[in-house]
Amino acid sequence: MSAPNLLEIKGLNAHYDKSHILHGVDMTIRQGEIVSLLGRNGSGRSTTLKTIMGLVKPTGGEVRLAGTNLAGERAYRVARAGIAYVPEEREIFANITVNENMRIGLQPARSGVPQWSMEEMYDFFPQLKDRRNTAAGMLSGGEQQMLTICRSLLGNPRVILIDEPTEGLAPKIVEVVTEVIREICKKGVSVLLVEQKLTIALRVSERVYVMGHGEIVFEGTPETLRSAHDIRRDWLEVS
């Protein structure tokens, strides 16, 4: 028996000025599940995450977390409700230390929600522990990505939205980040992942959605997507 849906996106629409970006997006993520949202650049994937998070105001539809509609709420309210966001831009605080960046993310424990500690974060990423008193702006791109993931987890979310976590990272760091995403899921946190590297997305995900022109054009398992040659050709592969 599968876990119940934790995050439900229904008929989500969003605009940038007069440009209609999201066209009735429907998605579900179960508790403790990794779901990838795939598509070419400009297909609407990042806008979907930002709209779920409240950084882009939806012009229609619902964002339900455990039944509560958060569509249109401000980002800090969405975060307090239990959704965390790891942006592609990372957005660390460059002038304060790694340790201080993590402390900013710390939130009190909540009943029934996986809890995280700074010690666990340093266990995930030992090289951050070695640099915990270093200004975050001095970190490499990979270390900044690690720090952003840690800061988001320390808010004790039920769902974490991760946008392009392996972009620009060395292969060794990609493997570390990929393994941490698996560990997040094992602890019961749901993950909605936007990932350009198809091999990684198919390896870690239980289900995948493919987006094109602001709409969902495919939903299924990694296995069904591997055999859906027309979907991959029309919506994912670069000609």
Q: pLDDT tens digit string along 172-228? A: 889 999 999 999 999 999 999 999 899 999 999 999 999 999 999 999 999 999 999
In which band, very low, low, confident or very high, does the pLDDT at 109 lie, cut at 50, 70 and 90? confident
Closest CA to 204 of 221, 189, 187: 221
Question: What's the CATH number for 5-235?
Answer: 3.40.50.300
pLDDT of res. 237 = 87
φ, ψ of residue 21 to 5 degrees: the values are -95, -50
**pLDDT band at residue 239 under the 50/70/90 scheme:** low
Determine the average pLDDT of the residues in 7-14.
98
Q: How confident is residue 2, by pLDDT bands cut at 50, 70 and 90?
A: low
C-alpha count within 13 angstroms, C-beta hemisphere, residue 50? 15
pLDDT at 94 over 60: yes
> In angstroms, what CA-CA distances link 175 with 34, 125, 170, 181?
16, 12, 9, 10
Share in percent of the chain as helix, strand, coil (round to 5)? 35, 30, 35
Where does the pLDDT of residue 97 fall: very low under 50, low under 70, confident under 90, or very high at 90 and above?
A: very high
Percentage with pLDDT > 90 across the chain: 87
- Supply the pLDDT for residue 111: 85
Please tell me which residue, 71 or 169, carries the higher pLDDT value: 71
- Kindly report which listed range (2-11, 59-68, 73-82) carries the lowest average pLDDT score: 2-11
Q: Is the pLDDT of residue 128 over 80?
A: yes
How far apart, in Å, are the Cα atoms of 187 and each of 52, 86, 219?
A: 22, 18, 25
With bands split at pLDDT 50, 70 and 90, how would you rate the model's confidence at 4?
A: confident
Strands (E), 87-130: none
Q: What is the pLDDT of residues 41-60, one digit of tens each?
A: 999 999 999 999 999 999 99
Dihedral pair phi/psi, residue 99, rounded to 5°: -60, -45
Measured N-to-C along each axis, helices 141-153 and 171-186 cross at an angle, to the nearest 10 degrees, of 10
Q: Which pLDDT belongs to residue 74?
A: 97
| Residue entry with tokens 């957005």 | 91
